[in-house]
Amino acid sequence: MTAVRYLHELAMAFFVGGQLVLVAAVVPIARGSDQMRPMARRFAYGTLVALGVLVITGSIMASHFHRWSDGTLHAKLALVVLAGVLVGIHIARPANRALDGIIFVISLTIVWLGVALAH
């Protein structure tokens, strides 16, 4: 189970940590440059992979720890689905800046709920 949790936390770190780096460092410097779009698109594809890993490893842990009936898990899963849909929309429409903030807030909420589940 340690390896599953490790993969789950690594995918979460990529997903949320990458957003933090984009918000704090990349976007303020590269906004408007020719490299901004390819960087953001590559991160978005990585994010979709991370979401897949999170769903798989999260499902394994929910089964192992018998958490499927937990309301906190239900809320977290709903937000994961919403984040995945919004990331997909954002890949298709990268100019929609409002999605950046919405996805970021949802991601932080998902992490909060994950911490709550771990205790």
| 16-64 per-position pLDDT tens digit | 898 888 888 888 888 778 888 788 778 878 888 988 898 899 999 999 9
Tokens 């901004």 belong to which residue? 36
Alpha carbon dihedral 69, 74, 77, 82, in 10-degree steps, equals 160
Give CA–CA dist 16/6, Å, rounded: 15
Domain count, the chain: 1
* Domain assignment of residue 66, given as a range: 2-118
Furthest-apart CA atoms within the chain: distance in Å: 48
What is the per-residue pLDDT for 95? 76
